[in-house]
């Protein structure tokens, strides 16, 4: 009962992630692996990374003639994801269409009411087992009593019971053979091949603005160190992967397991650099083994500072003190690792002064990179009821942490955006005046990052504006700015 299944990324762009690299759709790699194991013919079509249009997608579907088309969406990419499935139906009404991801997991009712003519089934939660089981039931003529789905039948929306989380992540197959590796690179490393990998799933924290803990039900599960490091070794030797981004929210959650991963990476001496994020308190916990981070090839660590206000951190349920962020970033910097943090701003009580305070705090923290983001009120997040009265933008495509959605009491959204960009500009321009104080490695890294921000990101216009003389000299010396047109 082999069927043709086409997994397509929605062609959504907002000028953030694509400025640093081209990131593969890891979730689809896992879903495709399970479908392949079940005997189906599968393709992954990463239209987003290829910057293809809806017309390109429509042609690809027509040429391939799949039996089923699946895509996934977070909140800001939802509209484009639905457009992909609508295109599939326009090519052939008989194609089974599937929609998964974080937003559909929680907002399935709204989606099916609005777009049930294009979306046949919504996959709620983890997709590997559910997608495979659902298609096997459909193509095998069985009933649709499959846990973890929602669909419309006879004009009525039906949601089946929730599927339990996968208990053993080591057994999930990944369809690395379907990845078009030439499409994926980390832009600060020339001729690199980039993989996105997962060593664990979940988060036990209770941050009120976050979607991840809800999707993973506040649980944390991990692959064994042996299984994970063997995969990195396989990707490095088979596909030439020399940069890997760990997609986990907290890969370091279990100290004993994480240290074993570091030890194995050091022992195997892979030609591999690793990008990751983790929590401030895990970095503080690991202060005695930061040398292992460096030896294991950890290149870049992101930790979320989130706010300059302890009151706001407490409202976010960050379980974090401001001084802890400073200490963690110092530890990362002292280990010679690229440090990055972000501030989630734009709450109703935000003011120009509080944003400036965040910018000054970022300078005090002294990360290599800092981003000042506009809070996005995901409609299923814990903080949504508090923010709902202040929401002025209801187009989900704008919910990308760049464009302000919430109007503070004392600013327009346009003013908020202006101050967020100013904070970034002030932080970064000050950073560049001290470029020669950095190590040669970090200096070269920052030169590459500056080039990307000026040429290829949503911050391009802001970065090309009026600059302090020292920064302008740096730009003229090190960075080739693309001329318009």
Task: Indicate which CATH number applies to the domain containing 95.
Answer: 3.40.50.2300
Three-state SS for 371?
strand
Residue 445: pLDDT band with limits 50, 70, 90: confident
Q: Residue 428 has what pLDDT?
A: 87
Report, as an integer, the average pLDDT of 125-141.
Answer: 96
Residue 317 has pLDDT above 60, yes or no: no
Report, as an integer, the average pLDDT of 285-306.
Answer: 93
For residue range 372-406, what is the model confidence (pLDDT) as tens digits?
999 988 888 888 889 999 999 999 999 988 899 99
Q: Residue 125 has what pLDDT?
A: 92
299 and 215 in one domain?
Answer: yes
What pTM value is reported for the model?
0.90
Residue 124 domain-assigned? yes
Q: Residue 188 has what pLDDT?
A: 85
The single residue listed with the structure tokens 């003190």 is 321
What does DSSP say about strands 96-100 and 121-123: parallel, antiparallel, or unpaired? parallel
193 and 108 in one domain?
Answer: no
Report, as an integer, the average pLDDT of 462-481.
Answer: 59
88 and 229 in one domain?
Answer: no
For residue range 49-90, what is the model confidence (pLDDT) as tens digits?
999 999 999 999 999 999 999 999 999 999 999 999 999 999
Report, as an integer, the average pLDDT of 93-106.
Answer: 96
Residue 367 domain-assigned? yes
Q: Residue 313 has what pLDDT?
A: 54
Q: Residue 485 has what pLDDT?
A: 37
Owning domain of residue 347? 178-434
Which of 148 and 308 is assigned the larger pLDDT? 148
225 and 109 in one domain?
Answer: no
Distance, in Å, from the CA atom of 52 to the CA atom of 81, rounded to the nearest integer, reads: 13
Three-state SS for 185?
coil
Residue 483: pLDDT band with limits 50, 70, 90: very low
Report, as an integer, the average pLDDT of 424-435.
Answer: 86
Last residue of a domain, one of 108, 132, 159: 159
CA angle 380, 385, 390 (to 5 degrees): 115
Residue 254 domain-assigned? yes
Residue 252: pLDDT band with limits 50, 70, 90: very high
Q: Residue 289 has what pLDDT?
A: 98
Question: From its phi and psi, is residue 221 left (phi > 0), alpha (psi between -120 and 50) or beta?
Answer: beta
Q: Which of 33-37, 249-253, 310-314 has the lowest mean pLDDT?
A: 310-314
60 and 202 in one domain?
Answer: no
Residue 173 domain-assigned? no
Give the chain's domain count: 2
Report, as an integer, the average pLDDT of 339-350.
Answer: 92
Residue 320 domain-assigned? yes
CA atoms within 13 A on the CB side of 91: 25
195 and 140 in one domain?
Answer: no
200 and 145 in one domain?
Answer: no
140 and 10 in one domain?
Answer: yes
Residue 252 domain-assigned? yes
Tokens in use for 66?
Answer: 């799949």
Distance, in Å, from the CA atom of 373 to the CA atom of 371, rounded to the nearest integer, reads: 6
Residue 19: pLDDT band with limits 50, 70, 90: low
Residue 215: pLDDT band with limits 50, 70, 90: low
The single residue listed with the structure tokens 């208990």 is 167
Residue 375 domain-assigned? yes
Tell how many helices (H) and how many strands (E) occur in the chain.
Answer: 19, 15
Distance, in Å, from the CA atom of 192 to the CA atom of 253, rounded to the nearest integer, reads: 29
**Residue 220's domain is classified under what CATH number?**
3.20.20.70
Residue 42 has pLDDT above 90, yes or no: yes
39 and 125 in one domain?
Answer: yes
Question: From its phi and psi, is residue 28 left (phi > 0), alpha (psi between -120 and 50) or beta?
Answer: alpha
Residue 476 domain-assigned? no
Residue 130 has pLDDT above 50, yes or no: yes
Residue 214 has pLDDT above 80, yes or no: no
With pLDDT > 90 as the criterion, what percentage of the chain qualifies? Answer: 68
Residue 460 has pLDDT above 70, yes or no: no
Distance, in Å, from the CA atom of 1 to the CA atom of 139, rounded to the nearest integer, reads: 7
331 and 193 in one domain?
Answer: yes
423 and 305 in one domain?
Answer: yes
Report, as an integer, the average pLDDT of 339-353.
Answer: 93
Q: Which of 3-7, 88-92, 348-352, 444-448 has the lowest mean pLDDT?
A: 444-448
Report, as an integer, the average pLDDT of 345-365.
Answer: 92
- Mean pLDDT in the chain? 89
Residue 432: pLDDT band with limits 50, 70, 90: confident
349 and 300 in one domain?
Answer: yes
């Amino acid at each position: 009962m082999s069927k043709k299944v086409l997994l397509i990324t929605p062609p959504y762009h907002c000028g953030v992630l694509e400025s640093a690299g081209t990131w593969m759709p890891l979730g689809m790699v896992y879903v495709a692996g399970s479908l392949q194991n079940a005997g189906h013919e599968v393709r992954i079509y990463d239209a987003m990374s290829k910057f293809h249009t809806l017309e390109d997608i429509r042609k690809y579907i027509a040429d391939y003639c799949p039996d089923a088309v699946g895509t996934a969406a977070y909140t800001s990419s939802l509209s484009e994801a639905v457009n992909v499935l609508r295109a599939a139906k326009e090519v052939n009404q008989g194609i089974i269409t599937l929609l998964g991801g974080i937003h559909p997991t929680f907002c399935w009712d709204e989606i099916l009411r609005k777009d049930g003519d294009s979306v046949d089934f919504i996959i709620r939660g983890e997709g590997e087992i559910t997608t495979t089981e659902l298609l096997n039931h459909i193509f095998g003529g069985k009933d649709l009593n499959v846990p973890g789905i929602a669909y419309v039948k006879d004009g009525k929306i039906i949601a089946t019971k929730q599927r339990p989380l996968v208990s053993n992540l080591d057994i999930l197959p990944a369809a690395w053979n379907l990845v078009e590796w030439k499409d994926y690179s980390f832009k600060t490393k020339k001729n690199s091949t980039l993989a996105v990998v997962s060593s664990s799933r979940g988060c036990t924290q209770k941050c009120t603005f976050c979607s991840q803990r809800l999707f993973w039900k506040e649980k944390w599960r991990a692959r064994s160190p042996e299984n994970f490091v063997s995969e990195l070794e396989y990707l490095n030797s088979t596909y030439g992967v020399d940069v890997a981004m760990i997609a986990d929210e907290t890969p370091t959650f279990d100290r004993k397991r994480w240290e074993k991963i570091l030890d194995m990476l050091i022992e195997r001496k892979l030609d591999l650099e690793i990008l990751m994020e983790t929590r401030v308190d895990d970095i503080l916990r690991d202060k005695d083994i930061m040398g292992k981070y460096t030896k294991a090839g950890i290149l870049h660590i992101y930790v979320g500072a989130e706010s300059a206000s302890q009151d706001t951190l407490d409202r976010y349920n960050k379980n974090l003190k401001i001084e802890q962020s400073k200490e963690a970033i110092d530890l990362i910097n002292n280990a010679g690792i690229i440090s990055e943090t972000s501030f989630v701003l734009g709450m109703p009580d935000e003011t120009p002064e509080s944003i400036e305070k965040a910018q000054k705090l970022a300078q005090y923290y002294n990360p290599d990179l800092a981003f000042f983001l506009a809070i996005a009120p995901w409609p299923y997040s814990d903080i949504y009821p508090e923010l709902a009265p202040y929401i002025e933008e209801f187009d989900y495509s704008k919910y990308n942490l760049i464009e302000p959605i919430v109007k503070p009491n004392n600013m327009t959204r346009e003013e908020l955006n202006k101050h967020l960009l100013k904070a970034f500009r002030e932080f970064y321009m000050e950073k560049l005046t001290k470029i020669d104080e950095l190590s040669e490695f970090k200096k070269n890294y920052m030169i590459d990052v500056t080039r990307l921000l000026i040429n290829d990101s949503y911050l391009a216009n802001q970065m090309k504006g009026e600059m302090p003389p020292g920064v302008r000299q740096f730009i003229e010396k090190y960075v080739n700015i693309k001329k318009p047109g």
